[in-house]
Amino acid sequence: MPRMKREKSATGIYHVMLRGNNKNRIFELEQDKGKLYHILKEVKDEYPFKLYAYCIMNNHCHLLVKEEAIPINKFMKMINQKYAVYYNRNRNKVGHVFQDRFRSEPVEDDSYFLGLVRYIHLNPLKAKLVEDPYQYKWCSYKEYFYETPLMIDSEFVKTNICPERENFRKNFINLHRGDDENLYLDTDETQEARKMKIAESVFHHNGGVNEKSIKKLKDNTGMTFRDIARAANISINMVNKYLNL
């Protein structure tokens, strides 16, 4: 089966996710996470691209990147290949390490971009690994408090959050509080759970399953008719009726 064509971003900015083949925990060891971190730095030096946020979990990794002269397919291919060689050699294995090449979604809106920065940094909290993103070693959150970040390109985020910079620290911390109703690229299991959580919130604040709540889910969350039907425990035909289709 041919691969689906990757959706092109008008801004050159993408949210990227790498995931272990068969859901394997390919970054489980501290050594593994450290190796991927150094590969990111190495490839970034060789094939320059902007890196706004990253988080390396046990079986997947999130990146928020911007392609420049080198297209995303090329530098992501190098990252994948270098890590696959390390992983197979270290585990005495052969074959695919990653599920697909990599998954990505275009980022073309400032509010969605900042939501992704928050979402990526809060992954360790969602997994109950830490209570504060600053405590997690393998994400870029703490780099935003360094005078000279180690790997990320922080200026674009800082300008979006606080152009005058005087209150950046406070505004950056506040950005990571609360939640939103966007459905970001994630593991299938996490995305499904998040859809259900969003739907529960919408139903709760809009009087249950009704025309208003169904339309809000359709217009504001990116959920499909099938997602909405599953969350509301109704048929797809009933979703169509609520939407007057």
Q: At what angle do helices 188-205 and 211-220 cross, to 10 degrees?
A: 140
Greatest C-alpha distance within the chain: 58
Beta-carbon neighbour count of residue 56 at 10 Å? 24
Q: At CA 196, angle to CA 195 and CA 197, rounded to 5?
A: 90
Q: What is the pLDDT of residues 134-178, one digit of tens each?
A: 999 999 999 999 988 889 999 999 988 877 777 899 999 999 987
Domain ranges of the chain: 13-175, 188-242
% of the chain beyond a pLDDT of 70: 90
Helices and strands per DSSP (H, E), number in the chain: 10, 4
pTM: 0.74
Token pair for 134: 């600053």
Task: Give the strand pairing for 50-56 and 103-106.
Answer: unpaired
Q: How many angstroms separate the CA atoms of 161 and 2, rounded?
A: 41
CATH class held by domain 13-175? alpha beta
Q: How many angstroms separate the CA atoms of 90 and 84, rounded?
A: 10
Q: What is the pLDDT of residue 186?
A: 63
Q: What is the pLDDT of residue 187?
A: 47
| The residue to which tokens 């080198």 are assigned | 70
| The residue to which tokens 């270098």 are assigned | 82
Q: What is the pLDDT of residues 76-135, one digit of tens each?
A: 999 999 999 999 998 888 888 887 778 889 999 898 999 999 999 999 998 899 999 999
Q: Kindly report the average pLDDT of the chain as a whole number.
A: 86
- DSSP alpha helices (H): ranges in 92-210? 110-121, 123-126, 155-161, 168-175, 188-205
Burial class (CB in 10 A: 0-12, 13-18, 19+), 94: exposed
Task: Give residue 13's pLDDT band: very low, low, confident or very high (50, 70, 90).
Answer: very high
